[in-house]
Amino acid sequence: MKFLDTLFEQKSRQLAQRSSRRGMLKGLGTLLVGGAAIPLLPVARASAAASKPAEEGDPNSCDYWRYCAIDGFLCGCCGGSANTCPPGTEMSPITWIGTCRNPVDGRNYVISYNDCCGKSSCGACLCQRDEGDRPPYRSDKTNDVNWCLGTSSAVYHCSTAVVVGVAFED
Amino acid sequence: MRTSILVLSLLLSTVCAANESAWDKAHFNYQMFCQGCHTPDGSGANSVPRLKGHVGTFLQTEEGREYLVRVPGSATSSLDNEELAAVLNWILIEFSGDSLAENYEPYKVDEIGRLRRNPLNEVVLYRSKLLADIAHRGDAKQ
């Protein structure tokens, strides 16, 4: 069955490639939001890249600003860092996302709490702040689940807190 | 003459700023509500299907078009109809690659509102049937 699915998927993908001349319009980035066609300048895309904020505080301490919605062991205390997994573990592509306010510039940033997986629980620096955690009736908005999905091992070791963008504010 | 050019360029830059902010807002909502499962570049992993280079394929049929809205990740998200329309249009532009036809119709707000009232329960089989239909349609045309 899996094989069939993959086959159909490939097929429809090839077809799609043949039937569409390379995206002229799309290349210009025509964006339709809420019913009005609006052209988008390439500059807009460049500025969307996540910028590295100025920071202060101790990334191995639970009160560090990026940990506002974390629930787990801090990778910084486990041989990794707030951005990287300890050697011998693998970062999960499926992750829990939140926003935290950076006290240095007062802006809110999008934080991705990617879990590191493949070794048993690190056990050091347990940090449960869960600010902004919502009730667990929706799987995408609770951090109290094992996010070791998409990795070769589902064993949870520790959590990172990577800045992936600036929160949008009107 | 001068003033009208000035007014025009002011107008244009306001329009561009508005676009930029609509784009950024859609990207932000994708990050907050979808990216955790769908990954930053739409590659997905495990049971989360790859949007990248493929998602536009579904717009080849009406059912496929409806599917992208009725899939639980879209339909039951806490985004309102306008935000969901913007995020889905953002996904189509950002991730489709060559899978999106040039003359595609972006999603409209009222369309989203209508379709998401009817979310899918059983996705996996439904999805493979959709893709099979799309592939067969292509065969018939050749």
Point out the residues of chain A with pLDDT beneath 50. Answer: 1-49, 134-139, 141
A28 and A68: one domain? Answer: no
CB pair distance less than 8 Å for B128 and A22: no
Q: Are residue A33 and residue A107 in the same domain, yes or no? A: no
pLDDT score recorded for residue B141: 55
Number of domains in chain A: 2
What's the Cα-to-Cα distance from A116 to each of A21, A96, A159, B104, rounded to whole Å?
Answer: 41, 12, 6, 40
Low-confidence ranges of chain B (pLDDT < 50): none
Whether residue B131 and residue A25 make contact (CB cut-off 8 A), yes or no, is no
Residues A22 and A90 in one domain: no
- Domain of residue A91, CATH code: 2.60.30.10
Domains of chain B in start order, with CATH, are 24-141 (1.10.760.10)
Residue B4 class from Cβ within 10 Å (0-12 exposed, 13-18 middle, 19+ buried)?
Answer: exposed
pTM, to two decimals: 0.79
Rounded to the nearest angstrom, the minimum Cα separation between B97 and chain A is 8
Do A94 and A144 fall within a single domain?
yes
Structure tokens at B67: 């599917």
Partnered with residue A72 across adjacent β-strands are: A127
Output the pLDDT for position A148. 84
Residue pLDDT, tens place only, A20-46: 433 434 433 444 444 444 444 333 333
Asked if residue A121 is part of any domain, the answer here is: yes
Shared domain check, A65 and A139: yes
pLDDT tens, residue by residue, B48-89: 999 999 999 999 999 999 999 999 999 999 999 999 999 999
Domain hosting A17: range is 2-40
Residue of B12, B15, B29, B32 to mutate, interface with A, max A Cβ within 10 Å = B32
Q: Are residues A120 and A150 in the same domain?
A: yes
